[in-house]
Structure 1
Amino acid sequence: MSVAIEANPKRDEGAGEKMETTRHRTIRHSKSVPEPLRAAHIHTTPFAARLGGNQEFVLDRADPKNAAVLEDIPDAATHMTVKQALDLRGFRQAILWKAAAVEGVGTMLLVYATDWSTLSPAAYPPPPDPASESGVFSTASFLGPLVGGVTSAIFIAMYIFCFGAVTGGHLNPLITIATFFTRLTSLPRAILYVSFQIIGASLAGLLIRASYDSREFKVGGCWLNPAEISVSSAFTNEFSASLVVLFMAFGVGLDPRQRQIFGPSLGPIFVGLAVGTTAFSMAFTRPGYGGAAMNPARCFGAYVGSSFPTWHWIHWVATIAASVFHGIVYYMVPPWGGFAGKHERQLVSDEEK
């Protein structure tokens, strides 16, 4: 997508001045943005992995005018090389630290809201009565995930809307790690985001403990009864559910072709529906299992507030494994055709004509 970097409005047009600092650089919206938005002069920091933005606000890496910005923020455009993705100079960019700090605040609020809405006593629920005709569908094992899935869908969509313009709206290490393996997020940003996500989730866990007035609780998606569920079974479910979420989140929230269909306005809603529906559908099938987390920071925060189980590693290992697998598939069949932006730029050119 071809976009231009806005110049300092106070400079004379003919004067040659130094490039603006990264802090003051902004991205001008493309002509594919609806007319009402263009008239409002909306600007945003370019970031290729902006969840729900469908890569509407990215730079064209082939445009030499964008070279200065991409030198400091390589993930402001797609198609980073491995060298660019691993460039550690990003740690010196104050804008990344600020975005990561806001990401931590958003994660804290999201974790508190979604954990609290699925909170229950630490005791494991009894299995459903085998003589009951309704089976699990009339028990707390079904109704709890149903409530949690609906509330999570709403909360996630709203928080992406709230924080997406500043951070990209990841609020989840699964999304951040996956965008790193698809080379949409640089290593410095990924490390900072995940670190602050964990910090924010930890604060949320402490707030939950203070609100519940006890640490004897469990959270939906973050518990299992070892007497009924094996760790290997939970790992398989966590890996599969994470893959489902990644493919749907990338499809509706990061695929550049989708902005021609529903744009960035509906992306966060669809991402929230994807996560909420998956969380619900993976949680009630087997008694003694709270379902897949699909957000390791969320469970990490819950365990800070309660206690850490020995099997918490599955949330992180399954997340990384799913991200690697998704990254391989993503680059085998890239959404933009694999021509380093050529196909995408041709679409914009045709639209302008």
Structure 2
Amino acid sequence: MAVSTNEDIELAESHINHELRHRKNSHAPSVASRPFVGRIGGNQEFTISPGDYSFQTVVSKAPDAAAKFSWKQSFGLRSFADVELWKEATIEGVGTCLQIYLAGLYAIGLGPTGTETAIGPITPAAFGAIANFLLISFFIYAGGPVSGGHFNPLITMSTFFARLSTFPRSLLYILFQCTGSVIAGFMVRASLGTRPSTFREVPGCYIDTSLVKPGEAYAIPSLVLFSLTGARYALETMSSFALIFIAFGVGLDPRQRQVFGPSLSPILVGLAIGLCSFASGIARPGYAGASMNPARCLGLMAAAERFNYHYIHWFGDLTAAMLNGIMYWAIPIYKD
């Protein structure tokens, strides 16, 4: 009888503890985080299920809250009236401003080390890669739960063409990202008290046109041109495409959810951009690395009051985003 009594007591205590946990959880406030399939580092975990009772209501306002949506839904203008979307775009603008402010500081500081050390550009490229890895990872962690943690038009354009973010979201994100970047550029200039010329050779946004022609920084090699003129450089396009390929694979592919999930994905995305920035920064004299973030160069070049060949930072990234979108259209993530 004693054994039976002890077992009954243990079961009763277990039941009471379960009830207390249930009551505690039921009275806890809900976390304010909206579902968004294009959340970088989320591996599409934070989406709304079609079986959810509020699915139709949520998707009517934000189609990219679902894992799949049509192009017609993507271009729906109703999302522009969504106040929450404007708040998320504001976070993208603020985050981009802070990110580029910090990136601008260490870019200006590392610039002269390319000629002041025995190993030349390897020094700023290595330190810049480490700084980019830490910076991007931390900002994805910080902004991911609210806006998706893009802070980069390249990421936003890529999610749009891969049908992971709607046109209204993509447009607002890019507008706020660019606004934040310009503010950051002038804040760096004001903080350092330097002249515009200081910003004209910032790594990742600078091309020495006496060594590298603008066409070589953008053009994609073709068999015809290769046979006639040899290898052509596609530094911005290919570096951005490599970054997007890795970022999508580790940070947006739901098949990786069980492998490492949202906790590790931002670190892997940060490592990817660190690797791409280092590889492109030491490849050729006259080219201080790929931008892989046109907003960053927009802000710093605005502070420099000089936009020579800035179109490369946009056209190269746009090409990479479109190539990535075509790839995910040809090899879709989900079965029909």
Task: Specify if TM > 0.5.
Answer: yes
Q: Distance in 2 between matches of 1:162 and 1:67?
A: 29
Letter in 1 for 2:235: N
Deviations, residues 200-238 of structure 1 (Å, cap 9, x unaligned):
000110011112212222321010111111111222210
Q: Distance in 1 between matches of 2:109 and 2:216?
A: 23
The number of aligned residues is: 292
Q: Distance in 1 between matches of 2:174 and 2:214?
A: 25
Q: Distance in 2 between matches of 1:177 and 1:273?
A: 21
Q: Distance in 2 between matches of 1:62 and 1:310?
A: 52
- What is the CA-CA distance between 1:42 and the residue it aligns to? 5.0
Q: Distance in 2 between matches of 1:299 and 1:306?
A: 10
Q: Partner residue of 1:347?
A: none
Q: Partner residue of 1:195?
A: 175
- SS of the residue corresponding to residue 225 of structure 1 reads coil
1:304 correspondence with 2:302: yes
Q: Distance in 1 between matches of 2:293 and 2:269?
A: 14
Q: Partner residue of 1:55?
A: 44
Q: Partner residue of 2:102?
A: 113
Q: Partner residue of 2:271?
A: 273
1:93 correspondence with 2:74: no
Please say if residues 61 and 78 of structure 1, whose CA atoms lie closer than 8 Å, have aligned partners that are also in contact. Answer: no
Identity of aligned residues (%): 40
Q: Distance in 2 between matches of 1:142 and 1:274?
A: 18
Query: Which sits farther off after the overlay, 43-52 or 112-121?
Result: 112-121
Q: Partner residue of 2:221?
A: none
Q: Partner residue of 1:70?
A: 59
Unaligned runs of at least 5 residues, structure 2: 1-24, 219-233
The 1:198–1:144 alpha-carbon spacing in structure 2 relative to 1, beyond 3 Å, is same
State the TM-score, normalizing by the size of structure 2.
0.82
Q: Which runs of 4+ in 1 moved over 6 A?
A: 38-41, 121-126
Q: Distance in 2 between matches of 1:191 and 1:213?
A: 33
Indicate which of 305, 330, 334 corresponds to 1:332.
330
Please say if residues 153 and 275 of structure 1, whose CA atoms lie closer than 8 Å, have aligned partners that are also in contact. Answer: yes
State the TM-score, normalizing by the size of structure 1.
0.78
Q: Distance in 1 between matches of 2:146 and 2:52?
A: 24
1:234 correspondence with 2:214: no
- SS of the residue corresponding to residue 60 of structure 1 reads coil
Deviations, residues 34-54 of structure 1 (Å, cap 9, x unaligned):
xxxx99875621000000011
Q: Distance in 2 between matches of 1:81 and 1:199?
A: 29
Q: Distance in 2 between matches of 1:139 and 1:114?
A: 23
Please say if residues 152 and 294 of structure 2, whose CA atoms lie closer than 8 Å, have aligned partners that are also in contact. Answer: yes
Q: Distance in 1 between matches of 2:32 and 2:332?
A: 27
Indicate which of 69, 79, 98 corresponds to 2:68.
79
- What is the CA-CA distance between 1:302 and the residue it aligns to? 0.6
Q: Partner residue of 2:286?
A: 288
Unaligned runs of at least 5 residues, structure 1: 1-37, 129-136, 340-353
Q: Distance in 1 between matches of 2:203 and 2:125?
A: 7
The 1:121–1:167 alpha-carbon spacing in structure 2 relative to 1, beyond 3 Å, is closer
Equivalences for 1:35-50 in 2 at 5 Å?
Answer: 44-50=33-39
Indicate the RMSD between aligned Cα atoms, in angstroms.
2.2
Q: Distance in 2 between matches of 1:306 and 1:121?
A: 17
The 1:121–1:282 alpha-carbon spacing in structure 2 relative to 1, beyond 3 Å, is closer
Question: Which of the two has greater helix per residue?
Answer: 2
Indicate which of 240, 248, 251 corresponds to 1:250.
248
- SS of the residue corresponding to residue 292 of structure 2 reads coil
Q: Partner residue of 2:136?
A: 156
Q: Partner residue of 1:222?
A: 205
Q: Distance in 2 between matches of 1:88 and 1:316?
A: 25
- SS of the residue corresponding to residue 281 of structure 2 reads coil
Indicate which of 314, 317, 320 corresponds to 1:316.
314
- What is the CA-CA distance between 1:88 and the residue it aligns to? 1.0
Letter in 2 for 1:323: A
The 1:62–1:179 alpha-carbon spacing in structure 2 relative to 1, beyond 3 Å, is farther
- What is the CA-CA distance between 1:290 and the residue it aligns to? 0.6
Please say if residues 152 and 275 of structure 1, whose CA atoms lie closer than 8 Å, have aligned partners that are also in contact. Answer: yes
Letter in 2 for 1:257: R
1:184 correspondence with 2:164: yes
Letter in 1 for 2:216: S
Q: Distance in 2 between matches of 1:138 and 1:159?
A: 33
- SS of the residue corresponding to residue 132 of structure 2 reads helix
